[in-house]
Amino acid sequence: MTTMISNLPTVLIEEILIRVPLKSLRAVRLTCKSWNTLSKSRSFSKLYISKTATREEESMMIAMMNFDLYSMRVVVDDVDPSIAFKRKPSFLEEQVNVSQVFHCEGLLLCIFKDNTKVVVWNPYCGETRWIEPRFSHRPRGWDRFSYALGYKDKESCDSFKFLRFIDYFCFAPENQFFWYEIYDFDSDSWTTLDVTPHWCIMFANLGITLKGNTYWCAGERNSEDDIVDHIICFDFTSERFGPLLPLPTSVRDHEYEYVTLSCVREEKLAALFQHNESNPYELEIWITTKINAEMVSWSKFLMMDTGPRIEVPLIWEGFFIDEEKRNAMGFDEEFSRKTFIIIGEAGYVRKLDIGVDIDCRPKVCSYVPSLVQIKKPAGGKRKRQSSLETGLFEQNMLRLEAFEKLNLV
């Protein structure tokens, strides 16, 4: 009896595919439908990458410095830790300035400094997808948008969407403006979302995508106190925000002033809590044990109190967690110091000179390569917006103009 190639056991197919060079994998996907589906799955992507990954003791990250992107590896050693940077191959012919970068399943969402260009890029495969914003908004030179990249198909990491929003809230219900819109890769079109926020997300607060959904630090919208004591999730499948989810109770009782989120191996969310300059010797890091759009539970990962011996630098623009070695790392918030910080248990602190002159606040995010393909827009003209969507867009543009004139934004 002859066995069809499409009927081979999954384990055997995986053993065949992981031996295929990356440049030939696209052709292999055309062999049959089942091979194509398997090669795009999250489990196979991780298996394939693990076979070609570099040494496990090296922590892989993406760093944004001086409006450019670098792959970054840190070898943590008690005596002599080291750091190495390598500029990522450019995905453009001309020079561009990247002002923000976000990670989602091996893809990087890159926001450009002039706020008129957005690109989604898979550095591992070299694929890109350009997204044309419907309008730009930079009052006084500030990018007032918040951004997120996610997807609705949790099994295959497919059907990607790009969320961006403006949300002004000046501590009075009558003095606010918000506009939430989403771009669908499949339809190559923008849609205005019907959102009435019960939350408040500071525009400088960066979202973290985990398993297709994005999380932000948030607070209650009508609260008299400007306190970030929750997180909130945007579900890209339902295109809705969930309820406010609590941060750990003990952390809220300590009234930490700064909260920064990160992702742990694309499986968990981590939250770093720090005081202001009045108590620069203490921080806590918690990691989720369960999380989705509707619920969260936390477990303490690391607590540091160095007393007056060592001042723990503020880590604002992202950080990286190594669960096995129980340490965390990120750029010093005082970017003029040009240092990268590694912190761990028992007051372990190491500062590394990165050897690069920095002109802007650097950022680091964990990076796990993937084989996720970026769907290209269909050929021909872009799908025309409905009359309803056109009306909503024009109405919001008028509202935004009126709000800015009234509030001198």
Report angle CA 157, 161, 165 to the nearest 5 degrees.
Answer: 140
What mean pLDDT is reported for the chain? Answer: 80
At 360, is the secondary structure helix, strand, or coil?
Answer: coil
Within 8 A by CB and 6+ apart from 142, the residues are none
Within 8 A by CB and 6+ apart from 63, the residues are 69, 70, 71, 72, 85, 331, 362, 363, 364
Among 51-55, 72-76, 153-157, 321-325, the range scoring the smallest mean pLDDT is 51-55
Alpha-carbon distance of 334 to 329, in angstroms, equals: 15
Alpha-carbon distance of 363 to 98, in angstroms, equals: 11
**pLDDT digits over 204-259, tens only?**
788 999 999 999 999 888 766 667 789 999 999 999 999 999 998 777 666 777 88
Q: What is the pTM of this model?
A: 0.85
**pLDDT digits over 348-364, tens only?**
888 888 777 777 778 88
Does the CA dihedral 91-341-361-101 come out positive or negative?
positive
DSSP 336: G
Question: Which pLDDT value is given to residue 285?
Answer: 92
Report angle CA 232, 235, 241 to the nearest 5 degrees.
Answer: 45
Helix 42-52 crosses helix 10-17 at what angle (to 10 degrees)? Answer: 40
State how beta strands 107-112 and 230-235 pair: unpaired
Q: Which of 40-54, 61-75, 144-158, 175-189 has the highest mean pLDDT?
A: 175-189
Compute the CA torsion angle 219, 221, 225, 226 (nearest 10 deg).
60
**pLDDT digits over 103-130, tens only?**
998 899 999 887 678 999 988 878 889 9
Question: Which pLDDT value is given to residue 225?
Answer: 67
Among 19-28, 70-79, 103-112, 307-316, the range scoring the smallest mean pLDDT is 307-316
Alpha-carbon distance of 259 to 261, in angstroms, equals: 7
What phi, psi does 160 have (nearest 5°)?
-75, 150
Length of the chain measured in residues: 409
Here the contacts of 264-268 (C-beta below 8 Å, separation 24 or greater) are: 264/321, 264/323, 264/366, 265/323, 265/366, 265/368, 266/105, 266/210, 266/211, 266/366, 266/368, 267/210, 267/211, 268/210
**pLDDT digits over 28-76, tens only?**
777 777 777 777 676 777 677 666 554 444 567 888 888 888 888 888 8
DSSP 264: E
DSSP-H helix ranges across 191-296: 249-254
Alpha-carbon distance of 203 to 218, in angstroms, equals: 11
At 35, is the secondary structure helix, strand, or coil?
Answer: helix
Query: Average pLDDT, stretch 183-201?
Result: 92
At 322, is the secondary structure helix, strand, or coil?
Answer: strand
How crowded is the C-beta side of 95, counted as CA atoms within 13 Å? 3
Closest by CA position to 150, among listed 79, 87, 236: 236
Alpha-carbon distance of 44 to 17, in angstroms, equals: 9
Which residue type is seen at 220? E
The two structure tokens encoding residue 192: 């205005």
Query: Average pLDDT, stretch 395-402?
Result: 90
* Whole-Å CA distances, 324 to 6, 59, 161, 348: 39, 11, 33, 15
